[in-house]
Amino acid sequence: MPEQTLIGAIRDGLACALAADPRVVVMGEDVGRVGGVFRATEGLQERFGAERVVDTPLAESGIAGTAIGMAAYGLRPVAEMQFMGFVLPAVDQIVSHAARLRARTHGRFTAPLVIRTPYGGLIRAPELHSESLEAFFCHLPGVKVACPSTPRDAKGLLLAAIADPDPVIFMEPMRLYRSVREDVPAESFTVPLGPARIARPGRDVSVIAWGAMVPAALRAAADVAGDGIEAEVIDLRTLTPLDEASLADSVRRTGRAVVVHEGVRTGGFGAEVAARIAEAAFLYLQAPVARVTAPDAPYPPFLLEDRFVPQPADVAAAIRSVVAF
């Protein structure tokens, strides 16, 4: 198994899908000749041709609308939006058409498409490049949302998303693109959409995170281990569908929960996770569920990013607080 970065695993997953299925088409701004803004598609147009790896105009609504039409026709489009903040012009297409096509046609048509979108902060990018907007799409029935934190999961989840019969928003944490490495199978494989992963077992508190917050949670867990606190870190991997069974099982064992995410606090997906925990494990809780999130403010200039995005020290402080409650 070759060692891969997260961005390399995504590129490898796209190549596997293109090679295995002639219906797969990769499309987006600069994905062909340039290889994408982060080089996720580098070399794919030369290998598979300009009809399979398609450079599009700078028009996110047009990219999404074209992908929906291609999916309804029977293709498997994988559309790249350069940054999550740029997805907003395409929201009408995603909400009004991609998410509803199966229900609207009583199952006669589906929209098997993937929208890949880099997201997240601490990369010193300008405005609209660092948003974490997963809560928008998790609120949308008919759409699945996946968010890997490791190279292996990035490839496996992406291939599962491409094979899925319904639309998938595939969130890619930019901060992890080249900062993490692990062995990834060279062959095609899938990581099922839905099941969470226990990234670190523990008995005292459940720390739930996804994307770039998983490494932050793991560093916090290592920090509090010096205090004798054994924190269990759960990597959700898929936000919708949500693995409620794994959440309930973990919290029933630990009696405490901390939810960590980059999105702002109010209406963030962490509130939904906390609600599901309360519904499934309320009588097991020994402390209120804590949330570690970004503040309710627009994403700041890059000089203030370190105060805006949750840090391992913030997570460690929340862990200590719920354990001491």
By residue range, what is the domain housing residue 139?
3-183
The CATH number covering residue 228 comes to 3.40.50.920
252 and 115, same structural domain? no
Residue 190 domain-assigned (yes or no): no
Task: Measure the CA–CA gap between 70 and 264, rounded to whole angstroms.
Answer: 34
Same domain, 213 and 311: yes
Same domain, 168 and 204: no
* pTM for the full predicted model: 0.96
The dihedral built from the CA positions of residue 144, 245, 220 and 9, taken in this order, carries a sign that is negative
Strand ordering across the sheet containing 231-235: 197-200, 231-235, 205-209, 257-264, 290-294
Residue that is last in its domain, among 136, 161, 183? 183
Catalytic site residue from 97, 106, 129, 139: 129
The pLDDT tens digits along the chain (325 residues) read 789 999 999 999 999 999 999 999 999 999 999 999 999 999 999 999 999 999 999 999 999 999 999 999 999 999 999 999 999 999 999 999 999 999 999 999 999 999 999 999 998 888 889 999 999 999 999 999 999 999 999 999 999 999 999 999 999 999 999 999 999 999 999 999 999 999 999 999 999 999 999 999 999 999 999 999 999 999 999 999 999 999 999 999 999 999 999 999 999 999 999 999 999 999 999 999 999 999 999 999 878 899 999 999 999 999 999 999 9
Is 129 annotated as catalytic?
yes
